[in-house]
Amino acid sequence: MNATATDQLPVVVIGAGPVGLAAAAHLVGRGLEPLVLEAGPVAGAAVRAWAHVRLFSTWGEVTDPAAEKLLAPTGWVKPDVKTYPSGGDWAERYLQPLADALGDRVRTGATVTGVSRAGRDRIVDADREARPFVVHVTHADGREERLFARAVIDASGTWSTPSPAGASGLPAPGEKAAADRVTYRVPDLEDPSVRARYAGRRTAVIGSGASAFTALAALADLAREQAGTEAVWILRRGISGSTFGGGTADQLPARGALGLAAKAAVDEGHADAVTGFRTEAVERDGDNRLIFVAEDGRRLDPVDEAIVLTGFRPDLSFLSELRLGLDERLQAPVGLAPLIDPNQHSCGTVRPHGANELSHPEQGVYLVGMKSYGRAPTFLALTGYEQVRSVVAAIAGDHESAERVELALPETGVCGGTGLFAQPDTAHPTPDGGCCAPTPALLQLGTVTP
């Protein structure tokens, strides 16, 4: 297949989440043909998995301009930009209408199992860049298909690959066998069936981020209503002044409120904190309860359930035949990694970036959205929209636009954290123009925005 023919092929976008659908909208706006492949049964499948969760970001910060332009002829009306959508709102009122507007360009139940250059594995140099990409797809009915593409934009996120409890980065011995009692998501304790699983029982919460705070706060609320409900909070590090975030001084008030709620769970005795505990094994006692064992030999008292919230990581397995340039620590593109290092940056200090930082030795392939951040946790939707604007411009050959930064972030940033508020209709921007809700009665918070 010659270069001219390759230019007539679609751009394959992997994932029909917020960033993947935005990429498709930008491609359409550039006169390029997108083909969006979504593994789930519907667009926004990962977002729908946390439908009960409310975002910190307002409607004004979670829609893409190119997507809005594509939606306009359909009669779509943008929700009040000052209000805060839940995951379900985001999916039903924006992502699904956008997928509908894209029509047959979005295929659901289509799992990408491999991407390569047609006729060239990763070791072959000859004529490589002139070859189209070949994308292997398995459909929900088991049918296999090969698709050809001029470029590939991977916006598949990290939702499907949570990190384990094991301190080595691998599942601890016994962790997989304990799958019936372990979850890697913040449970929705407003769901009666889920609530019954934790009520009156002892639960281990592993992790030190916003999701762990949420689980602790939610379990504390349950403990105040249901006797016998208790938690043990397992941290790999110690507790310091910054463990619970900025509190009332936090520039993101809802995030600060969450940290205070987690601190209250500990201070009120609803959760026992165990510090410096690096999980080496998970065992069972005679009653089939779980016993966590640390590298230093400590054994915790048995628990009935475990909530493991140690972050997410990218699935790179289906990209193994491509020549990717990834940071050895974060598994993010080498040009992006220094900008998002969680040891140095929060979401508000990551500067906008695009095709240059997201490029790889394999020209024409880009990792965008949450997946571009690798193992770094502080992704935000607005940054993802700027990424795909720049990437699509580069694919279209408009390098001037690709290199131009077109996003100005508020000083505090718009973190990817989410939270279910008791009274969402009363949430408004902070008086100083900040991005997030004022201190609410916080009930639930999920993972970073996908």
Q: What is the pLDDT of residues 233-273, one digit of tens each?
A: 999 987 755 566 555 545 445 556 667 788 888 888 999 99
Q: What is the pLDDT of residues 29-39, one digit of tens each?
A: 999 999 999 99
The DSSP line for 353-411 is: --HHHH--SSTTEEE-GGGGGTT-----HHHHHHHHHHHHHHHTT-HHHHHS------T
Q: What is the pLDDT of residues 128-164, one digit of tens each?
A: 999 999 999 999 999 999 999 999 999 999 999 999 9
144 by DSSP, 3-state: which?
strand
Q: What percentage of the chain reaches a pLDDT higher than 90?
A: 70
- Please give the Cα distance from 75 to 251 (Å, whole number): 36
Task: Report, as an integer, the average pLDDT of 218-236.
Answer: 94
The residue ranking higher by pLDDT, 276 or 257, is 276
Amino acid identity of 118? A
Confidence at residue 237, expressed as pLDDT on a 0 to 100 scale: 82
The residue ranking higher by pLDDT, 424 or 384, is 384
Confidence at residue 246, expressed as pLDDT on a 0 to 100 scale: 53
Task: Report, as an integer, the average pLDDT of 173-192.
Answer: 95
Task: Report, as an integer, the average pLDDT of 195-214.
Answer: 92
The residue ranking higher by pLDDT, 231 or 379, is 231
* Alpha carbon 202 to chain centroid, angstroms: 28
Q: What percentage of the chain reaches a pLDDT higher than 70?
A: 84
Q: What is the pLDDT of residues 314-354, one digit of tens each?
A: 999 999 999 999 999 999 999 999 998 877 765 556 778 99
Going by pLDDT thresholds of 50, 70 and 90, the confidence category of residue 424 is: very low
Confidence at residue 349, expressed as pLDDT on a 0 to 100 scale: 66
Integer CA distances (angstroms), 297 to 70, 171, 281, 284, in order = 58, 17, 10, 16
Phi, psi (deg, nearest 5) at residue 30: -95, 0
Task: Report, as an integer, the average pLDDT of 21-47.
Answer: 98
- Surface-to-core class of residue 198, CB atoms within 10 Å of its CB (0-12 exposed, 13-18 middle, 19+ buried): buried
Q: Look at residues 309, 378, 312 and name the one whose alpha carbon lies nearest to residue 340.
A: 378
Tokens 């990209």 belong to which residue?
Answer: 319
Q: Which residues contact 26 (CB under 8 A, 6 or more apart)?
A: 64, 66, 388, 389, 392, 393
How many CB atoms sit inside 10 A of residue 286's CB? 6
Q: What is the pLDDT of residues 114-131, one digit of tens each?
A: 999 999 999 999 999 999
Q: What is the pLDDT of residues 55-114, one digit of tens each?
A: 878 899 899 999 999 999 999 999 999 898 989 999 999 999 999 999 999 999 999 999
Going by pLDDT thresholds of 50, 70 and 90, the confidence category of residue 3 is: very low
Confidence at residue 443, expressed as pLDDT on a 0 to 100 scale: 27
Mean pLDDT of the chain, nearest integer: 86
Tell me: pLDDT of 392 over 80: yes
